[in-house]
Amino acid sequence: MVKPESVEELKALVGEENVLTSPEELLCYSYDSTVLQHLPEIVVLPYTTQEVAATVKLADREKIPIVPRGAGTNLAGGTIPIQGGIVLSLTRMTQILEIDTINMVAVVQPGVVTGKLQAEVARKGLYYPPDPASLKVTTLGGNVAMNAGGPHALKYGVTSDYVMGLEVVLPNGQVIRTGGKAIKNVTGYNLTQLFVGSEGTLGVVTEIILRLIPQPQSSGSVLAAFSDLDDAATLVNRILKAGVTPAVIEIMDNMTIQTVDDYLGTGLPRDAAALLLIQVDGVRQAVEQELKTVAQLCNDNKATQVEVARTEDEEETVWEARRSISPSLTRVRPNKLGEDISVPREAIPDVVRRIEEISRQRDLPIVIFGHISDGNLHPNILFDQTDPEEIERVEAAAGDIFEAATAVGGTLSGEHGIGLLKQKYLRLDLPTETIEVMRTVKRALDPNNIMNPGKIFPDN
């Protein structure tokens, strides 16, 4: 329980207007993008690192659970305050502190929206590639905490590939800095990467140094339909072996194609077993040649339909289908559980077929789409949250999917993290000894277990 005197102390530390306690206010911070929910006891909205440190120090002294939170787009239940306590919302720390065009880095606070940073650096001819689907609302602090990825990961990597340094408030309230602007840095342990992907269990990130790259001059896209899933899957390696590294290769299975076409009505190939959306970018001459190569490889690999988009308007039409997946699914069922297993590319056809079998066995619609180029698939289980029996089948289906992924050498998560939803399956993926090393790090930095407790690790 958060004592009344602790509430008053927090108000004195960060300002009364930045401490929320009413039931209506707390409700807004009780859920994320999953179906999970639990009320916090108090919400604190700091503006500065000093206010974050003071809040964390109080929580550690009083042994109050504290959950760092960004925009709440988490898809693994990582920001659900399951033990009550304090939700520490970082959405008011929104300053882009510096865009350094000489060193090609940006220094930002954790509440900066990802899409906003991308737009700001683009005006200076620079590019920040990590692009989670929720980039228009998701914050960079959350991206760092979850090591967010996105469609451009094959060519450009994920968040961890761009984090050069951090300012972090440790669970005892101490503020440390890791890394910096230097491109090469192997001084001591790589503490920067320790905090990336730690899901808010080791500390609170309050400042981020991000690597930037030059903005690509041009881009073009190819849409290719296949009557056989194996043909679509094997195309990826054929493209890479041809010396082309696409910015994006996305896959939509047959059910996804039909669902999106019902939503858009734009005439997608409804009978196709798979649809690939491929984007290349770079200098203009190279893009044109790579588009020709990719289109030819699609035809050689038995594509039933190939469309090439060279202009912005043509590309917009191609990628509208991918962006419409999530809204189209609400027409099938009111709720969805979006997973993100990651498997070796050669295993994709077998895993997709296994998921289709799970869909039949559990009597649940499961659509499959995702980043086929790096093996990161997003099976979305569609259901009605008001039906308890259906929820039980959803949980069973999720377990089946995780087993299918790990059985072929894959992993539980490519970009969403473990949070609450996957923690009981962690031993499918990691040996007990590995999990214990992680627990040891957690205990060393957070001996009172206040920082986002109850996440990642299984109970026993």
Where do the domains of the chain lie? 1-215, 218-326, 333-429
Question: Which pLDDT score is estimated for 57?
Answer: 98
* Fold that domain 1-215 belongs to in CATH: 3.30.465
What tens digit of pLDDT does each residue of 123-166 get?
A: 999 999 999 988 999 999 999 999 999 999 999 999 999 999 99
CATH 3.40.50.300 fits 218-326, yes or no: no
**What is the model's pLDDT at position 312?**
87
Residue 433: Cβ-neighbour burial (10 angstroms; 0-12, 13-18, 19+):
exposed
Kindly state the tokens that stand for 136. 């228009």
Q: Do domains 218-326 and 333-429 have the same CATH topology?
A: yes
10-residue mean pLDDT series, the chain (460 residues): 95 97 97 94 98 98 98 95 98 98 98 98 97 93 96 96 98 98 95 98 98 96 95 93 96 95 92 96 95 97 95 88 90 92 93 95 96 94 94 95 97 95 95 97 98 90
**H/E run at residue 294:** helix 284-300
| Rounded Cα gap, residues 360 and 387, in angstroms | 18
pLDDT score for 460: 55
Q: How far is it, in rounded angstroms, from Cα 81 to Cα 10?
A: 18
Per the CB < 8 A criterion, the answer to whether 19 and 42 are in contact is yes
The whole-angstrom separation of Cα 234 and Cα 348 is 9
- Rounded CA Rg of the chain: 23
Beta bridge partners of 43: 20, 87
Report angle CA 145, 16, 65 to the nearest 5 degrees: 40
Going by the DSSP 8-state scheme, the letter that residue 345 receives in this structure is: G
Query: Quick one: pLDDT at residue 113?
Result: 98
Query: Which residues lie closer than 8 Å to 24 by C-beta, 6 or more apart?
Result: none
Residue 153 has what pLDDT?
Answer: 94
In 10 A of CB 15, how many CB atoms?
14
DSSP state of 19: E
Query: Which one, of 94, 115, 97, 113, lies nearest residue 105 by Cα?
Result: 97
Q: Which CATH number fits domain 333-429: 3.30.429.10, 3.40.50.720, 3.40.720.10, 3.30.70.2740?
A: 3.30.70.2740
pLDDT of residue 440: 97
